């Protein structure tokens, strides 16, 4: 794990976007795994601005969404497929035939997950992925458990995840889907560059636990990124504020 500590959310977003732009410039047909959640919204905004300024093109890029709710369709405004359109894809030149996402409405979800994984593998695996950290340590929707799952799979969302994500559903936990589809830990570990973004005081405990505790713990899925060959955390000063600086410095 490597670490950048930036001043605030805006600088985190800019730094993350710069890493994405660097990656797409060195490999225009980048296989980019797109995250949802609040953390990456600023980064998408910077990417859209840079595209509009003519500083970058995504014309040959291929995108795979990292996760999706089960039971809501891509045109539902709470779906992650819709989120990607709203914050990024509709503004840039990614070709629609290069946009892939798990179909949360598939009649046979297991089969859909299998073909999603095969599609990623057929392109040589993910080049770049970005995620926030869930309050229970999840990455994508790989929820804590006695084991983690290698490839794209259906997951029962944790109570804490349902509660946290209810803010996107008018605060009503009953409206949040109880199941989701997520890329798996092997797909994450094989991703050539994996970025984690975290900003704000509400992420400070998560960062402390992730950096101060060296266990590789399936009950804390983000801890597996300790074994990732090329993983960079981009966090702000508030998110770093509870962690022993001597420990953080080892990763800078």
In the complex, which residues of this chain contact ligand GLP (CB under 6 A)? 35-39, 66-67, 131-134, 140-141, 161, 165
Shortest Cβ 209–ligand GLP spacing (Å): 15
Shortest Cβ 93–ligand GLP spacing (Å): 25
3-state SS assignment for residue 239 = helix
For tokens 């804590």, what's the residue? 144
Residue 202 falls in the annotated catalytic set: no
Minimum CB distance to ligand GLP smaller for 117 or for 199: 199
Residue 217 falls in the annotated catalytic set: no
Residue 111 falls in the annotated catalytic set: no
Residue 138 falls in the annotated catalytic set: yes
Do the bridges between strand 193-198 and strand 99-100 make them parallel or antiparallel, or are there none, so unpaired? unpaired
Other C-beta atoms within 10 Å of 115: how many?
Answer: 15
For tokens 């589809």, what's the residue? 181
Set 68, 127, 143, 238: catalytic member: 143
Minimum CB distance to ligand GLP smaller for 5 or for 195: 195
Minimum CB distance to ligand GLP smaller for 27 or for 145: 145
- Cα(23)–Cα(116) distance, integer angstroms: 23
| DSSP bridge pairs for 234 | 4, 197
Minimum CB distance to ligand GLP smaller for 221 or for 248: 221
Sheet hosting strand 2-6, strand order edge to edge: 2-6, 231-236, 193-198, 128-131, 31-34, 62-65, 99-100
Shortest Cβ 211–ligand GLP spacing (Å): 17
The residues annotated as belonging to the active site are: 67, 136, 138, 143
């Amino acid at each position: 794990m490597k670490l950048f500590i930036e001043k605030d959310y805006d600088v985190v977003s800019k730094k993350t976007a710069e890493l994405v732009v660097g990656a797409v410039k060195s490999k225009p047909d980048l296989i980019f795994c797109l995250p949802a959640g609040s953390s990456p919204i600023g980064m998408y905004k910077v990417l859209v601005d840079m595209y509009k300024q003519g500083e970058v093109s995504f014309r040959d890029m291929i995108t795979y969404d990292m996760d999706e709710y089960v039971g809501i369709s891509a045109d539902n405004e709470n779906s992650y497929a819709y989120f990607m359109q709203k914050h990024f894809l509709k503004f840039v030149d990614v070709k629609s035939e290069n946009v892939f996402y798990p179909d949360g409405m598939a009649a046979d979800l297991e089969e859909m997950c299998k073909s999603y994984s095969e599609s990623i593998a057929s392109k040589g695996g993910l080049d770049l992925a970005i995620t926030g950290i869930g309050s229970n340590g999840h990455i994508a929707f790989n929820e804590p458990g006695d084991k983690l799952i290698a490839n794209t799979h259906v997951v029962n969302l944790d109570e804490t995840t349902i509660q946290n994500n209810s803010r996107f559903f008018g605060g009503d936990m009953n409206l949040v889907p109880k199941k989701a589809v997520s890329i798996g830990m092997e797909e994450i570990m094989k991703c050539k560059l994996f970025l984690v973004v975290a900003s704000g005081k509400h992420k400070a405990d998560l960062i402390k636990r992730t950096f101060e505790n060296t266990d590789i713990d399936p009950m804390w899925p983000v801890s597996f990124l300790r074994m990732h060959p090329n993983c960079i955390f981009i966090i702000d000063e508030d998110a770093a504020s509870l962690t022993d600086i001597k420990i953080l410095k080892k990763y800078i």
